[in-house]
Amino acid sequence: MKKIPYLENVNGNQILMVDDAPFQILGGEFYNSSASDLKYMKEKIWPSVRPLGANCFLAPVYWECLEPKQGVYDFSLVEGMLRQAREEGVRLVFLWFGLWKNGKSSYIPSWMKKNSSYFYMKGADGKFVESVSPFCEKAVELDTKAVCHLMEYLKEHDKERTVVMLQVENEVGFWGQPRDFSNRANELYKGLIPEEMQRLYQKNGTWEEAFGLIACEYFMTWAFASAVGKIAASMKEIYPLPLFMNAMVVGVPLMAGKQPSGGPLPHVLEIWKTYAPAIDLYAPDLYSPFYKEICADYAKKNPLFIPEIAADKDVPSKALYCLSKYHTLCFSPFGIESLMMNISEADLLAQTNSSSCAPVFGTGEKLAQVYHLIKILNPEIAKAREEGRLWAFSQQNSMGDEFYMDNCTISVSYGPCLSEEIPGFPPRMGCREENAPMGGGFILRRTKEEFLICGFSCNIEIQSVFGHEEPVFILEKREWYCTENGLEKGRILNGDERNYMILSSSLGIQSVSVYSRE
Ligand code: DGJ
Say what angle helices 215-238 and 137-157 make with each other, to 10 degrees.
30
pLDDT over 70, % of the chain = 92
* pLDDT at site 467: 64
What's the longest Cα–Cα distance across the chain? 83
* pLDDT at site 417: 45
Please check whether residue 374 is in contact with residue 381, taking contact to mean a CB–CB distance below 8 angstroms: yes
- In the predicted structure, residue 312 carries a pLDDT above the cut 70: yes
What's the CA-to-centroid distance between 121 and ligand 1, angstroms? 21
- Helix (H), strand (E), coil (C) string for 423-492: CCCCCCCCCCCCCCCCCEEEEEECCCCEEEEEEECEEEEEEECCCCCCCEEEEEEEEEEEECCEEEEEEE
Mean pLDDT of 390-403: 93
Which ligand 1 atom is at minimum distance from the Cα of 60? 5
Q: What are the two backbone dihedrals, phi and then psi, of residue 83, each rounded to the nearest 5 degrees?
A: -65, -45
Q: How far is CA 300 from the centre of its chain?
A: 15
* pLDDT at site 418: 42
Cα torsion 151, 157, 161, 166 to 10°: value is -20
1-10, 312-321, 339-348, 488-497: least confidently modelled range: 339-348
Kind of pairing between the strands at 450-456 and 458-464: unpaired
Please check whether residue 241 is in contact with residue 166, taking contact to mean a CB–CB distance below 8 angstroms: yes
Q: Is the CB of 167 under 6 A from ligand 1?
A: no
pLDDT tens track for 190-249 = 999 999 999 999 999 999 999 999 999 999 999 999 999 999 999 999 999 999 999 999
Q: Is the CB of 285 under 6 A from ligand 1?
A: yes
The residue nearest atom 11 of ligand 1, judged by CA position, is 355
Instruction: Give 465 or 377, the one with higher predicted confidence.
Output: 377
The pTM for the full model equals 0.95
* pLDDT at site 212: 95
Q: Is the CB of 516 under 6 A from ligand 1?
A: no
3-state helix, strand, coil in the chain (%, to 5): 35, 30, 35
Give the 3-state secondary structure of residue 2: coil
Band of pLDDT at residue 350, cut at 50, 70 and 90: low
At position 24, the amino acid (one-letter code) is: Q
Mutate which of 171, 294, 337, 339 for ligand 1 pocket (most atoms within 8 A of beta carbon): 171
Q: How far is CA 495 from the centre of its chain?
A: 42
Q: Is the CB of 67 under 6 A from ligand 1?
A: no
The residue nearest atom 10 of ligand 1, judged by CA position, is 355
Query: Which whole-number Å values give the CA distances from 471 to 360, 428, 456, 516, in the listed order?
Result: 43, 22, 28, 6
What lies within 8 Å, CB to CB, of 104 at 6+ separation is: 130, 131, 175
The residue nearest atom 6 of ligand 1, judged by CA position, is 32
Kind of pairing between the strands at 6-10 and 13-18: antiparallel
Mean pLDDT of 126-154: 98
What's the CA-to-centroid distance between 398 and ligand 1, angstroms? 27
Band of pLDDT at residue 157, cut at 50, 70 and 90: very high
Q: What is the mean pLDDT of the chain?
A: 92
- In the predicted structure, residue 338 carries a pLDDT above the cut 70: yes
Which ligand 1 atom is at minimum distance from the Cα of 246? 3
* Integer Cα distance of 365 and 378 in angstroms: 20
* Integer Cα distance of 191 and 213 in angstroms: 16
pLDDT tens track for 171-206 = 999 999 999 999 999 999 999 999 999 999 999 999
* pLDDT at site 405: 81
* pLDDT at site 503: 87
Mean pLDDT of 122-149: 97
* pLDDT at site 419: 45
What's the CA-to-centroid distance between 95 and ligand 1, angstroms? 12
At position 400, the amino acid (one-letter code) is: G
* pLDDT at site 289: 92
* pLDDT at site 465: 67
* pLDDT at site 518: 67
